Amino acid sequence: MPGHAASLMQLPISLDPALPATLQEQLFRALQRLILRGVAAPGIVLPGSRQLAAQLGVSRNTVVLAVERLASEGYVGPVRGRGMAVSEGLPDSFLSAPPAMVRSGPRRAADRGGAITRPSRPPAIDFRIGRPDSASFPQAAWRRAVDRQLQHRLDGLFDYPDPAGHHGLRACIASQLAAARGIAADAADIVILSGLPEALDIAATVLSLRGRVALVEKPCYARALAVLRHHGAAVRAIPVDRHGLQVDRLPKGTARLVFVTPSHQFPLGFTLPLERRAALLGKASALDAYVFEDDYDSDFRHEGSPLTALKGLDASGRVIYFGTFAKSLGPGLRLAYVVLPRSLREPFLRVKDIAYRGRPWLEQAALADFIAEGSYQSHIRRSRRLYTRRRDVLGRALRQAFGPVDLSGLGGGMHLAWHLGRNLPGARRIAALAAATGVGVYPIEAAPAEAFGDRRLLDRTLLIGYASVEEAAIEPGVAKLARAIEED
């Protein structure tokens, strides 16, 4: 059927030497496409290689190799004395398969660093919460710590990482926790993971939360709630007051888990006092519940020393402690950890190993070094001083612009909560007015926090982060905010 073969040659096979794929590859794909689309039907004989080469302006060898590959994949086969023909055995279902395309070179993403998906341009002065100051990050020391790992034998690259995490890093964390949080743990109690959602996801599986009661604070971190609900837990929210979780309002009966943020209640910033910590541990025992302690924002204490963590007071092995480097270094690291009660170590690691395995080796190893040489600790000290100053400037600016204001969360952390007086618009309205003038302040749901429909929390609470806002921009930002509200 030379007619068919000739008609095949009329078809647009366009080869482009500028594309990254070789001409041979391009020709293979083009012919494969013709076959798959049914343009070159079963039985059709391909033109000779000399002829095809001449027509396409490529070497004969290119054609021969492309056709050989078609043959090796079964698209064409030899016909006695007549060259190669499209195979008869190709199932009909193939003939409508989408063609494999030869694409041009890689598109470079606009944001090379980290593919940040934000709906629109961030405000010029963005009081967003939970973001560390990038300008004061010890870039040179961190760069050295990473590069040291890449100078020598890259052992960590060539094997699967320990699902529990880098041993040296776990030992460093244990040491830090003893000094800073009063937690007696060793490396074997610690598991490195990506963040709170992963930690809670694994805990929820280990504790078989489906259908069982999980108690959370009202308001609470929306992502924590999403994980609990994903696992089918029966979630009940217990209100917080100015001293955090109202422990005496915990229900009777049984519960499987209590999720709390004792250091700096998320997102309102209250600190759970010692008596309530003790009462909570007693109550957990009565409920037969585990306590998931999200030690939110404990790195930066502006007033006094941080209270000893619940985990440091836990006599009965009920507390799962969660800490993270997302706030002290950056969320792009994806490095966090849990300290587990002995009884949960083995089941937790077993579940983690099913799907998550270990964390990437490089930044774990670098961080261990960074802590061991003391760079981490001095970074934390510097950040704490910086954030304390910014908090002071923010508080002063708010009082200047709005008179007496009811703020919470001043004792530590990276943001404060402003409990809006009745004379002010609602939180969402203020956030929208502010955004229109290039200032970012946030209602509680943007934290993201879940208020369980509490109108006072939703309407009358505004969150203002100060850690990542330059000191000189804070007062102007607040002044713009005040003007925007006034002009409303």
Instruction: Tell which positions 18-57 bind a second copy, by CB under 8 A.
Output: 20-21, 25, 28-29, 32, 36
Considering the complex, what minimum distance in angstroms separates the CB of residue 471 from a second copy? 18
Give the nearer residue to a second copy in terms of CB position, either 363 or 459. Answer: 363
Rounded CA Rg of the chain:
31
99 vs 421 by CB, closer to a second copy: 99
Task: Say which residues have a Cβ less than 8 Å from residue 113's Cβ, sequence separation at least 6.
Answer: none
Q: What does the alpha-carbon distance between residue 451 and residue 240 come to, in Å, rounded to a whole number?
A: 11
Examine residue 295 and tell whether it contacts a second copy (CB under 8 A).
no
3-state secondary structure 144-173: HHHHHHHHCCCHHHHCCCCCCCCHHHHHHH
Q: How far apart are CA 197 and CA 47, in angstroms?
A: 59
Using CA atoms, how far apart are residues 12 and 302, in angstroms rounded to an integer? 71
Give the x/- contact pattern for a second copy in 65-104, rule: CB under 8 A: ----x--xxxx-------------xxx-xx-xxxxxxxxx
- Compute the least distance from the CB of residue 268 to a second copy, in Å: 20
Residues numbered 138-167 forming contacts with a second copy, rule: CB under 8 A: 139, 142-143, 146-147, 149-162, 164-167
Distance CA 356, CA 458 (A): 36
Token digits of residue 12: 């647009």
Three-class SS state of 437: coil
Taking the complex as a whole, the smallest distance from the CB of residue 24 to a second copy amounts, in Å, to 9
Tell which positions 425-464 bind a second copy, by CB under 8 A: none
Alpha-carbon separation of residue 348 from 104, 193, 200, 230, 355 (angstroms): 45, 12, 11, 18, 12
Site string for a second copy, 197-236 (x = CB under 8 A): xx-xx------------------------xx--x------
Q: Least distance to a second copy from the beta carbon of 302, Å?
A: 13
Among 53, 84, 174, 367, binds a second copy (CB under 8 A): 174
Contact 333, 326 (CB under 8 A): yes
Q: Which is nearer to a second copy, 110 or 472 (CB)?
A: 110
Binding part of the chain for a second copy, among 237-245, 331-339, 402-410, 419-427 by CB under 8 A, reads 331-339
Which residues inside 335-364 make contact with a second copy, applying CB under 8 A? 335, 354-364
Distance CA 391, CA 411 (A): 10
Report in angstroms how near the CB of residue 458 gets to a second copy at its nearest: 24
Q: What is the DSSP letter of 100?
A: P
Of 312, 395, 409, 465, which one interacts with a second copy (CB under 8 A)? Answer: 312
